[in-house]
Amino acid sequence: MSREPRPILLAALLGLFALAFFHPVVAGRPFVHMDFHQTFEPQQACVRAAVARGSVSWNPLLSNGVPLLANPIYAAFYPPRWAIVPLSPAFGLTVLGAAHVLWGGLGAMLLARRYGLGGAPALTAGLAFGFSGLAISATAPCAYGWTLAWAPWLVLAFEAVLTAERGGRAVVALALSTFFILVAGEPFVIVGALAGMAARLALAFPDEASAGRGRGSVRTVLGLAIGGAAALPHILASSRLFASSVRASGFETAGSLQWSMHPLELTGLVVSDPFGDPTTYGPTAFWGQELVAPRAHFLFQGSYVGALVVVLAIVGLSRRGRLRLALAAWFGALLLMALGRYGPVYPLLIAIDETLVDSIRYPVKWLVPAMLPLALLAALGVARIREASDRRGPAAVALLGLVGLALVSAALPLGLDRWLAGLSGVVTAEQTQAVRDLLLGRVALAAAPLLVAALALLAAIRGSVDPRRVAALLPLIVGADLWLNNRHLAPTVEPAFYSEPPAVVRAILADDRVGRVMTLAEVDRVPWPSGVDGDARDYYRWERQTLRLLTGASYGLALAFNPDMEAFSTLRSTQLSVLVNDAPLREKMMLAGAAGVTHVVSTRPVEGPQVTPIPLPPGTPVHLVRNRLAQPRVRVVPELSPYDGFDGLIRLVVEAPDDLFARSALVESATLASIAPAPGTGPGTARIVSDSGDELVVRTGGGGGILVVSDTYTPGWRATVDGEAAAIFPVDVAFRGIAVPPGDREVVLGYSPWR
């Protein structure tokens, strides 16, 4: 009997594959996914700036200041995030993303070995899970990829704790895995891993008598408790912020389900990019818009795992033992959840209580952790082929599966391509031909490895090749297939893409009066010229030039009214953003001025007496103006102006003169009844003495009144005036107000995410 390869050899093979897969990263090129460059790279720039300030609990660069530690999207308690701070934000996140792909693959490989499946099956599991299209796509929403990489390690530690005779090290491993997966922060992956643990416990362990199972259960609870306790600061901080966030106020059901997985999306598991190439833009960059209306693109760029892996998973279901049942139940449950409005689970939840879907938005996310049981089923399939005494059994099933999928592929030019193209809603002959060319090209790309697999299986059936040799070949074929079809899902770009500030950034920084910057909503419109195809990198360059979403923070700009991808921004801040976006120019500039916005960026000309144009170099795709109604970040106003509801607020702003916010702070009537503002006796002054992020020291003078700080009103802030506690109350909808007496005063505002 041949000896099984040692784990270190399998790990080395997986590492070499990762180096080949991510070879542009080895050459120093960072990723340039959409979410990566719009959201996560700017956030890492904010983290780096926070470290430089020496205060990491508050981020002053986004949305008039937002919590950093308390917002789960930052995964700020995740230790590897801080390890990359010395690197440039883009390259640091790229290295971390690639490393987590490898880490997840290693975990899946070791988990398959723990199930006793042998070297070739284990390597198959590592490749199929770590380098699936969904895992590679998850390197764009970075925290999602980080959490995903820990899923197999959590299950592996759980297995070790339940079965190990000496459980001390296993308990430590379970505690560490629990901590890391909790602080990485993506709940879909966490629940997906827990579902696997539950299925394994319910369906597989009855086959495995263990005298120490009772002790294992105690150790399991202990390990989970220790890991949860270590993650408690993260959980408490997030919970504290959650209460005041948009997420706590709930979402419309239609919004929660808008990224349900249409059943036809499953074709993406066996055909790479069946609805279009995510690396292109233009009329032939077909993305099956009707399947994902109204977003017009898929949440994840690709889902390809390959026909061979799917067929091997089917073969794995024929292997004896209850492990297959546990894995099948695990995969099936997550798949049903991923279907969302197209499946039975979410409609049932809505029938019970519509609010149940609020916390599990975007059902397609469930498909990502489902890649782990699918990869393990494929490993079972390889083991089944290797162990088969009847050569005509599992190998024949696998071969028939490949032939069946080949027939489906052959049907593409016979009308299947036109049917898929018709799903776009608006289809031209050019688009239909582009879909056909793309699909045929993708099928051809996968043809060579699948042909090799089919020939090897046929040789095993005929008896000319030992099934064990065929099984040893299968992970190599799986790797080749994934390498050919999924590399494009991790596009890279030259470092200058991130390091060179756009022209509009240079113009803003050259201005002497720079406060906060606001980007108008028009930049959300795709500017691609009609009838023109292009590389996605060109579109991403346009997004950087227009400061789309959070990108201005990459260059150190303080931004106002940015969207928060996880909806953990405060409800007040979001409501004010809506008011500003919908307001006419004068009122828009007044409200933005109250937020300290000095500069406005727009893809359309902005003209009016409230703004002053700032020249930009020819060819710059945006317009830049200075807001003449901008107010200082801190100011003392002599009076409060009450309003009732947003209709009353709008009426107040419309009827007031342009200098409303220079002399008054707006406050809800209900709030006014609960505060006792110090009367203003004349003009007041305010200046910032120091600002570390989570502590702001302001000196006030003159007649006193209301100190307005145009930073977000968020739970966790406390204030003192000359050392005496002072109340902070919301003014101008979303900002902070503090009553200050006349004369020279020292106001100190401090923030803690746990208060």
Q: Is 215 exposed, middle or buried (0-12, 13-18, 19+ CB in 10 A)?
A: middle
pLDDT tier for residue 368 given thresholds of 50, 70 and 90? very high
Q: Which of the 8 DSSP states describes residue 181?
A: H
- In this model, does residue 354 exceed pLDDT 90? no
Does the structure show a pLDDT above 80 at 2?
A: no
Is residue 553 one of the residues assigned to a domain? yes
Residue 36 within a domain: no
Lowest-confidence pick of 48-62, 71-85, 515-529: 515-529
Angle ∠(104,108,109) on CA atoms, nearest 5: 115
Q: In the prediction, which pLDDT does 52 show?
A: 92
Residue 47 lies in a domain: no
Domain boundary residue among 469, 489, 509? 489
743 and 643 within one domain? yes
Peptide bond into 294 cis (omega under 30): yes
Query: Residue 659: pLDDT above 70?
Result: yes
- Residue 71, in any domain of the structure: no
pLDDT tens readout for residues 612-628: 999 999 989 999 999 99
- Whether residues 481 and 605 fall in one domain: no
Q: Which residues contact 32 (CB under 8 A, 6 or more apart)?
A: 491, 492, 493, 497, 536, 537, 540
Structural domain count, the chain: 3
Residues 642 and 562 in one domain: no
What six digits make up the tokens of 358?
A: 């609020």
Between 350 and 1, the more confident residue is 350
pLDDT (0 to 100) of residue 165: 57
Which pLDDT score is estimated for 388? 67
Of 578, 593, 627, the last residue of a domain is 627
pLDDT classification of 427: cutoffs 50, 70, 90:
low
Evaluate if residue 523 carries a pLDDT over 60: no
- Mean pLDDT for the stretch of residues 689-696: 94
| Residue 413, pLDDT score | 62
Assigned domain for 53 exists = no
pLDDT of residue 393 exceeding 80: no
Between 251 and 503, the more confident residue is 503
d(CA 326, CA 205): 9
Provide the 8-state DSSP code for 87. S
Q: Among 27-36, 72-81, 341-350, 405-414, where is mean pLDDT lowest?
A: 405-414
Range of the domain at 365: 7-30+88-489
Co-location of 391 and 430 in the same domain: yes
Summarize the confidence of residues 581-609 as an average pLDDT: 95
What is the pLDDT, as a whole number, of residue 662? 94
What is the pLDDT, as a whole number, of residue 527?
A: 60
Q: Give the pLDDT band (50/70/90) at residue 209.
A: very low
Q: What is the pTM of this model?
A: 0.93
pLDDT at 563: 79
Q: Which residue has the higher pLDDT, 422 or 534?
A: 534
Average pLDDT, the chain: 88
Helix intervals (H) in 298-393 = 307-316, 323-339, 345-352, 371-387
High-pLDDT (> 70) share of the chain, %: 91
Q: Which two tokens stand for residue 355?
A: 């609010």
The confidence score (pLDDT) of residue 355 equals 72
Quote the CA–CA distance of 598 and 504 in Å, as a whole number.
Answer: 14
Query: Strand 684-691 to strand 724-726: parallel, antiparallel, or no bridges (unpaired)?
Result: unpaired
Q: What one-letter code names the amino acid at 165?
A: E
Of 627, 654, 689, the last residue of a domain is: 627
pLDDT digits (tens, 9 = 90+) for 283-339: 677 778 778 877 777 889 999 999 899 989 998 988 888 899 999 999 999 999 999
Does any domain span residue 64? Answer: no
**Residue 31: predicted pLDDT:** 97
Does one domain contain both 546 and 441?
no
Whole-number Å distance between alpha carbons of 432 and 446: 22
pLDDT above 90: percentage of residues in the chain: 60
Closest CA to 165 of 205, 225, 216, 200: 216
406-410, 448-452, 731-735 — which one is most confidently predicted on average? 731-735
Predicted confidence at residue 708, as pLDDT, reads: 97
The tokens 């020291």 sit on which residue? 697
Indicate if 701 and 656 belong to the same structural domain.
yes
pLDDT confidence of 410, banded at 50, 70, 90? low
Q: What is the CATH number of the domain that holds 652?
A: 2.60.420
Q: Regarding predicted confidence, which is higher, 373 or 672?
A: 373
| Confidence band of 526 (pLDDT split at 50, 70, 90) | low
Query: How confident is the model over 118-135, as a mean pLDDT?
Result: 96
Q: Do 296 and 198 sit in the same domain of this protein?
A: yes
Specify the pLDDT at position 130: 97
pLDDT for residue 1: 45
Task: Give the C-alpha separation, 536 to 552, whole Å.
Answer: 20
Residue 600, domain member (yes or no): yes
The per-residue b/e assignment along 332-362, b for 16 or more CB within 10 angstroms, e otherwise, is: ebbbbbbbbbbbebbeebbeeeeeebbebbb
Q: Is 37 domain-assigned?
A: no
> Cα angle at 126 between 468 and 26, to 5 degrees?
120
Determine contact, residues 601/519, Cβ cutoff 8 Å. Answer: yes
Q: Are residues 568 and 713 in the same domain?
A: no
The CA–CA distances, whole Å, from 274 to 131, 417, 420, 443, 644 equal 18, 9, 8, 10, 53
Q: Within this chain, do residues 680 and 552 fall inside the same structural domain, yes or no?
A: no
Residues 589 and 507 in one domain: yes
Q: How far is CA 214 from CA 210, 247, 281, 749, in A?
A: 9, 40, 57, 52
Over residues 654-680, mean pLDDT: 85
- 623 and 650 in one domain? no
562 plus 442 within the same structural domain: no
* Residue 53: pLDDT over 80: yes
